Amino acid sequence: SAIEQALRAALRDGGEFAIAYQPIIRLGGSFVRAEALARWVSPSLGSVSPDRFIPVAERSGLMVELGRHLLHLICDDLATHPDLRVSLNLSPLQLVMPDFLPDLVAELAQRGVNPARIEIELTESVLVRDTKLAAERLRALREAGFLTSLDDFGSGYSSIGYLGQIGFDTLKIDRSFVQGAATSLKRRKVLGAMIQLAHGFDLTVVAEGVETGEDERLLRDLGCDLAQGYLFDQPMPIRDLATRWLDSA
């Protein structure tokens, strides 16, 4: 495909990729960390969403290389901003690579970045393919000092069993469960139940897609811990994140 060809070319030099950071805040409190989101502006295709190019990279054998490049960019930002903490999206194809964890640990050590500043976000799809291997890799990540989170909870297979079997630190509730909850009693009850379920498993809860003050108030009332969404800020370049959200600007 055109995307695959352009992606292949872009990976030769890497300069077309960037990271955008969106703040995750404590409800009623301050900045906690930022989600790192991949951005690609191709000279031939223009701006391409990660929703499009990540699946292409996964299908065409380019994901591991792309992921490595994105991780380098994030490590650069962590090394230059000591008060930055990030949450980054990992493809299941990266997680299962035997070299992934040792390579990352070595790069962070070399650059003086503590793994505790990084949370690794995985979606449920990673658990469906090979639950045992994924569970092992997740355990190794936590033993190395990283935080782990289950992303987009509720949007996919959402097996509650995984929450008990696999130790995550954080659960990110998909925005489809947040939106509409302020105006629908039924949705509000479901959202509240999801937050309680997560707390039952000792997980920190992040609500995604928080867009209004009513959403925020409701989430606070329901006991949600953290929130992310356009109400607080959009994904942005590191220099904007630093001036707006970090102390070390």
- Under the rule (CB under 5 A), what is the footprint of Na ion? 151-152, 208
Q: Please count the other Cβ atoms lying within 10 Å of the Cβ belonging to residue 232.
A: 16
DSSP state of 144: T
CB of 221 to ligand G, least distance (A): 19
DSSP 8-state secondary structure symbol assigned to residue 193:
H
Q: Is 143 in the site for ligand G (CB under 6 A)?
A: no
Q: Is 51 in the site for ligand G (CB under 6 A)?
A: yes
Determine which residue in the list 27, 54, 78, 127 makes contact with ligand G, applying CB under 6 A.
54
CA distance 238 to 244: 10
Q: How far is the CB of 52 from ligand G (least distance, A)?
A: 9
Q: CB–CB of 91/65 below 8 Å?
A: no
Q: In the complex with ligand G, which residue's Cβ is closer, 173 or 242?
A: 173
**Contact between 151 and ligand G (CB under 6 A)?**
yes
183 phi/psi in degrees, rounded to 5: -110, -5
Of the pair 51, 247, the CB lying nearest ligand G is at 51
Does the protein bind ligand G through residue 237 (CB under 6 A)?
no
209 binds ligand G (CB under 6 A): yes
Using the minimum distance from each CB to ligand G, give the nearer residue, 192 or 209.
Answer: 209
Does the protein bind ligand G through residue 50 (CB under 6 A)? yes
Q: Residues near 232 by Cβ (< 8 Å), separated by ≥ 6?
A: 23, 25, 210
| CB of residue 150 to Mn ion, shortest distance in Å | 10
CB 180 within 8 A of CB 214: no
Pick the binder of ligand G from 119, 208, 216, 225 (CB under 6 A).
208
Q: Which residue has the tokens 């990266």?
A: 94
